[in-house]
A and B are shown apart, each in its own frame.
Chain A
Amino acid sequence: MKGKVVRPDWVKHTEMSLRGLEEGERKCKEISKPAYYGYAEASYALGREKFEGEMRLYQKALDAGYVIVDTVVHLPFRESAGHRLSRFFTTLRDETKILALKCPSCQRVIFPPRPVCGFCRITVGEKEEDWLALSDEGTVVSFQVASEREVDRVTGQLVGQPNPCGFIRLDGGDEWTILVHYLEMVDIEKLQRGMRAKAVWRPREERRGRMTDIAYFRLI
Chain B
Amino acid sequence: MSERIAVVGVGQTEFKSRWLEISQVEMVHLAVKRALENAHLTIKDIDAVFVGNMELFEGNYQVDMWLTEGDGAYLKSGMKIQTGGSTGSSVCTTLFDHAATGLFGAILGIGYEKQDEGSSDFGLRLVSEDTFFDIANGGRGAGPAMAAMALDMLKRQSVTEEQIAQLRVQESENACRNPHAHLRKRLTVEEVMNSRLLIPPLRILHMCPASVGACAMIVAPEKVAKKISPNPAWVVDWVTVHGGTLPPLGHMGVYMEETELGPQWAFGVEQASLKLYKRCGITNPRKEIDVIEVYNMSTWHEAEWWERMHLCEKNGAGKLIKERATAMDGDIPVNPSGGVVSTNAIGASAMQRFAEAAIQVRHEGGERQVPNAKTAMAVTAGGDSYSAAALFRKSL
Residues of A within 8 A of B (CB): 57, 60-61, 64, 66, 68, 71, 73, 77, 79, 81, 85, 89, 110-112, 114, 118-119, 141-145, 147, 149-151, 153, 156, 158, 161, 163, 165-167, 175-176, 178-182, 193, 210-212
Contact = CB atoms under 8 A, between A and B. Distances in A.
B140 A142 contact: no
A141 B253 CA distance: 12
B22 to A, nearest CB: 10
16 contacts: A64-B21, A89-B132, A110-B246, A112-B248, A118-B244, A142-B145, A142-B148, A144-B143, A147-B139, A151-B126, A153-B126, A153-B135, A163-B136, A167-B144, A179-B133, A193-B148
Nearest to A118: B244
Contacts of B246: 110-112, 114, 118, 176, 178
Contacts of A150: 138-140
A147 B134 CA distance: 16
B159 interface: no
Given A112-B133, A180-B134, A147 B247 contact: no
Interface of B: 18, 20-21, 59, 116, 121-122, 125-126, 131-141, 143-145, 147-148, 151, 199, 244, 246-250, 254-256, 258-260
B256 A175 contact: yes
A149 B125 contact: yes
A193 B132 CA distance: 25
Chain A interface, DSSP helix/strand/loop, else mixed: loop
Contact of B248 (A66, A71, A145, A178): A178
Contacts of B132: 79, 81, 85, 89, 112, 210-211
A111 B248 CA distance: 9
A85 B247 CA distance: 12
Given A61-B20, A89-B132, 5 more contacts: A111-B246, A112-B248, A119-B244, A165-B140, A193-B148
Given A71-B59, A81-B132, A180 B137 contact: yes
A199 to B, nearest CB: 13
A158 B122 CA distance: 9
Contact of A211 (B133, B140, B145, B250): B133
A151 B122 contact: yes
Contacts of A111: 246
A77 B126 CA distance: 14
B198 to A, nearest CB: 9
Contacts of B121: 149
B254 A142 contact: yes
Nearest to A166: B136
Contact of B138 (A151, A176, A179): A151
A2 B370 CA distance: 49
Nearest to A175: B259
Contacts of B18: 57
Contact of B125 (A141, A142, A143, A151): A151
Contacts of A112: 132-133, 246-248
